[in-house]
Structure 1
Amino acid sequence: CEKEPSSYMWIYILLGNMLRGIGETPITPLGISYLDDYAKEEDVPVYVACLHTIAMFGPMFGFLLGSLCAKLYVDIGFVDLGSITITPQDSRWVGAWWLGFLIAGITSFLAAIPFFFLPKSLKKPEEVNNGKASFALLENKGTTRKMLPPAKPKQRKYFYTSLKKVLSNRMYFTFLCCSLLQFSSFIGFLTYKPKYMEQQYGQSTSKSNFLIGLTSLPPVSIGIFLGGLIMKKYKLNIIGATKFAFTMSFLAYVIALLHFFVGCENHVVAGMTVSYE
């Protein structure tokens, strides 16, 4: 029989995630540009690595928070928990999934308040960086550098022209494709691995989220931070950074092949893995 949904709360969740994505989008492009304009060239890789490292702590704490919320009953605060006869190990158990959204929303709001006190511009480093297009040397040697005012195109065609030039850059386009593939695999890994651990290893939802947050994301954060330190120490240029990224990605791909040799036998399910007979 078919049962029509009686609640449209998923629409609010959809709109909430959409607004959250809109709010999070400016942090990476504007934050990196902010660091690139007002930091020394050799320090930028470390600062960018710190930015991405801190960003990785969010999913890690999210999984740990999800593990905690999964142990709590979905109607906590509204029903007598003493009357609940099932446990988190029961397949009928539904955790307090909504509690994570509430805690994360309040935390994000509080974390956004300090951004209002950031200055529009900072004191620029004294060292001259000829590689940055946003700075130019003045004719007098005793004067400091000043940022060139950004061009303000009045017509929309300038945007499409700039977009065409960016996408025509082979190195940037290759990096864009590589990032797309990496993030696609990473998101799939975080999405399906908890369920895989539940089905293959008989773990509860709470423990699966706890293990993912504790074992998978911290190494990624450490790797990002170490990559920034290596780039600063050896002062890698674009070609050197590209070779370094290719080598590390290739080694990660080779090590990831070991996942094919890890696992358990599929559970016997009538009608799926075995016949009804």
Structure 2
Amino acid sequence: MKGRGGVENAAFEPTTPDLGGRRGANHAGAGADAEAPAVEAAEEGPCGWGSCTPKALQLCNTPEGYLAAYSLLAIFQGIVVNGLVNISISTIERRYELNSSLTGLVSASYDIAFCVLSLFVSFFGERGHKPRWLAFSAFVLGLGSLVFSLPHFSSGKYHYGAKLEDTCQISGTSTANFTCSANTKSSLSNYLYVFILGQLLLGVGGTPLYTLGTAFIDDSVPKHKSCLYIGIGYAMSLLGPAIGYVLGGQLLTVYIDIKIPESTQMDQDDPRWLGAWWIGFLACFFAIWCLIIPFSCFPKYLPGTAKIQAEKISETHNDGSEALVETKNIGKSFRDFPLALLVLLKNPVLMSLIIASTSESLVATGFATFLPKFIENQFGKTSSFSATLGGVVLVPAAALGQVISGILISKYKMDCRTIIKFMIATCSVAFLLSTVFLIAKCGNEPFAGVSETYNGTGTLRNLTAPCNVNCRCLRSRYYPVCGRDEVQYFSPCFAGCTSYLQNNMKKTYYNCSCIGKLQRENISEDFLYEAVPGKCPTRCKYLPLFLVFFFFTVVFTFMAVTPTTVAILRCVPDKQRSFALGVQSVILRLLGTIPGPILFGVAIDNSCILWDIDECRTRGACLVYDNERMAYLLMSISAACKIITIIFVIIAVFLYKPPHPSPTVSQKDSEMVSAV
């Protein structure tokens, strides 16, 4: 075949005619003329915009240059979607009066949009200009980040509430009279729909990134390097959540409206404190839009792509699908969509791998959303520290797993069957390590009226007891204090405290009728205080053990992610690789990442033992969880999903049939073609 200038290009010369041969092979006996190669040399253009192709830009017109741009977009996408959104969940719940089930719906909205568009984007984008699709991706991702931050600017200043007299007010003393009024009911929960819209836009923007963007990497590099490049790209995408967790955790230490009103004295230990969750989204909006420029200058194919494609050896599952796709030239028009989809759905190896990855994604997305909340409640840490700790441990472990698997597969040049066997090993180790939830679980610290009575008086799950019945305490004002008896109380009022002293914004409470004697005998009765603000320090020492086990659980879990993608790309016909990733994305999100946060949110809410209830008796966010029940529920979900993953990966190994090198089309191929 000759190029436009009449120069013969060896990359387009026909190679072996067998189905098990090279990707560009013709299929003798299939009843069709030789098809032109998928990649034309003329489409391997320079880097630039039209006739403007500066020489400096040509240095970036390589797989490494594209990988750098892809990684940057993946990093910022990860910062927003898997970092800032997850770390802001607790703050958004409190600021806009949402429960965990609703915020789980917010998290799932990203996947809903991804799911709806994935098939169409991957089908039409397979033969289109993939880098320009990623420029569109950057535009919509930036817009979604902007929309997600808008509720802060339209909801007005944060009304943290007047600093009520939180001590016990004996009968006859004047106090605020709080009554339920429909007119005073907040409409902040309506901002739920704005958050959902922002997540939907983020989902639209993320669709081309992980379907067409990944396939473009596989197009542009030799087969044995593909796993390494994809692994690096995926690892960089996981660097985003790490940055998002750390950045978001630090932003939560900044007051939500930047400047704390002078009329109040409030610090991060105050339960009314909310951090500036919105700043990160606004910054990412500007950064992501800057990436539109580099993606808009890449050509349709990088230089050398045609030669690389011609040299690749097919590992398509031998079910006749490759002969069908080549013979019918499936994918050129929308009329081919149903047939192209049917070909993939009938590929048993592909479907087994998709179900396995779907099961893993359900757990991964659930933990990514609620891991900070788990650490906060299980080990008694602050929300900002829990978020930072979760990001520092979780995300580097995931990135390490991606890189390790990419290096191993590239170094040993594993074929498709060996890659799937490798996945069985990593998933099995991850399953064994996930038992950390049974080992490192923590019980609840003593909480008067919740987990124990008031020194033998009152009843469980009832905050009112004889020692505070005359205090007229507000159930809607949660201000925990830790008594000298090492028991936590809902508020100074429920602890029966009638007086306090304040020094450097720190209060100490005295004359508390509900607080018992000291539990530690070596402390003098002449104690300096009876209660201090905040939760009691946890006596659970399992946090280091949990973090170590969980780190390696994540490493081995994510060691299967890149191999799964590579195995999917190899077991389907060459012209259906992007579409296969699109099909995976749809099923993965329908059955995995969409129900994942919702399922975890319901499980966590199901372990709640103390809800926030306002003056109208309306239930809000959960205040206290049953730690052991939470651990058992999350362990059950995780174990069940990992068992499903292992089963279907084993099925994929047994069902996979590599193509047979043969100069003629096999009988099975001919039957499939003639049947269509």
Q: In which range does the TM-score fall when normalised by the shorter chain?
A: 0.7 to 0.9
The answer to whether structure 1 residue 73 and structure 2 residue 255 are counterparts is yes
Give the AA of the match of 2:282.
Answer: L
Rounded to whole Å, the distance in 2 between the matches of 1:49 and 1:74 is 37
Report if the CA contact (8 A) 2:331-2:340 is conserved: no
Farther-moved stretch of structure 1 (50-59 vs 115-124): 115-124
Tell me which of 18, 28, 40 is aligned to 2:222: 40
Q: TM-score, normalised by structure 1?
A: 0.85
CA shift in 2, pair 1:6/1:48, >3 Å: closer
**Contact 1:63 1:209 survives alignment (8 Å):** yes
Per-residue deviation, residues 81-106 of structure 1 (Å, max 9, x unmatched): 55552222222211111112112222
Equivalent of residue 51 in structure 1, options 212, 233, 237: 233
Matched position secondary structure for 2:418: helix
Q: Letter of the 2:280 partner, please give it.
A: G
Hey, what's the Cα distance between the residues in 2 that align with 1:272 and 1:43?
58
Distance, in Å, in 1 between the alignment partners of 2:435 and 2:416 is: 29
- Note if contact 2:331-2:337 (Cα within 8 Å) is conserved in structure 1: no
Could you say if the C-alpha distance between residues 112 and 183 of structure 1 is closer, same or farther in structure 2, counting changes exceeding 3 Å? Answer: farther
Q: 2:349, 2:262 → 1: CA distance?
A: 61
Shift in alpha-carbon separation, 1:169–1:4, aligned structure 2, 3 A: same
Decide which of 265, 290, 295 is 1:85's aligned counterpart: 265
Equivalent of 1:247, from 402, 425, 429? 425
Partner of 2:72: none
Paired with 1:24 and 1:238, the residues of 2 have a C-alpha distance of 27
Q: Are the aligned partners of 1:49 and 1:225 in contact in 2 as well (CA < 8 Å)?
A: yes
Q: Find the aligned partners of 1:92 and 1:195 in 2 and give their Cα distance.
A: 17
Whose helix fraction is larger, Structure 1's or Structure 2's? 1
* Cα drift, residue 109 of structure 1: 1.7
SS in 2 for 1:263: coil
Once the 2 structures are TM-superposed, how far is the Cα of residue 165 of structure 1 from its aligned partner? Answer: 1.9
Q: Residue 222 of structure 1 aligns with which residue?
A: 400
Distance in structure 1 (CA, Å) of the matches to 2:268 and 2:312: 58
What SS does the aligned partner of 2:256 have? Answer: coil
Distance, in Å, in 1 between the alignment partners of 2:196 and 2:334 is 35
Q: Distance in 1 between matches of 2:382 and 2:246?
A: 14
TM-score for the superposition, normalised by structure 2: 0.36
Cα 1:203–1:30, aligned 2, differ >3 Å: closer, same or farther? same
> What is the root-mean-square deviation of aligned Cα atoms in Å?
2.3
CA distance in 2, matches of 1:239, 1:19: 38
Q: What is the alpha-carbon distance in structure 2 between the residues aligned to residue 273 and residue 204 of structure 1?
A: 21
Aligned residue number for residue 5 of structure 1: 187
Tell me the CA shift for residue 20 of structure 1: 1.4
Match of 1:116 in 2: 296
- Could you list the runs of 5+ residues in structure 2 that have no partner in the other structure? 1-179, 317-328, 453-459, 466-676
- Shift in alpha-carbon separation, 1:6–1:29, aligned structure 2, 3 A: closer
Matches within 5 A, 1:126-137: 126=307, 128-131=311-314
Once residues 281 and 344 of structure 2 are traced to their aligned partners in structure 1, the CA distance between those partners, rounded to angstroms, is 37
User: What whole-Å deviation, never above 9, does each CA across 1:92-146 have from its counterpart, x for those lacking one?
Assistant: 211111112112222222233311111111122645113289xxxxxxxxxxxxx
Whole-angstrom CA distance in 2 between matches of 1:23 and 1:125: 29
SS in structure 2 opposite 1:96?
coil
Alpha carbons of 1:154 and 1:177: their partners in 2 closer, same or farther (altered >3 Å)? closer
Do the aligned partners of 1:39 and 1:125 also contact (CA within 8 Å) in 2? Answer: no
Partners of 1:151 and 1:15 in 2: how far apart? Answer: 32
Of 381, 385, 401, the match for 1:207: 385
SS at match of 1:25: helix
* Displacement after TM superposition at 1:238 (Å): 0.9
2:343 aligned to 155, 165, 171, which one?
165
Amino acid at match of 1:174: S
* Structure 1 partner of 2:52: none
- Structure label with greater radius of gyration: 2
Which stretches in structure 1 are left out of the alignment for 5+ residues?
134-148
Looking at structure 2, the residues matched to 10 and 113 of structure 1 have their Cα atoms a distance apart, in angstroms, of 33
State yes or no: 1:104 paired with 2:284: yes
Which of 237, 243, 254 does residue 61 from structure 1 map onto?
A: 243
Q: Deviations over 1:39-73 (max 9, x none)?
A: 11111010110110010011111101110111011
One-letter amino acid of the structure 2 residue matched with residue 18 of structure 1: L
Q: Contact (CA 8 Å) 2:376, 2:382: kept in 1 or not?
A: yes
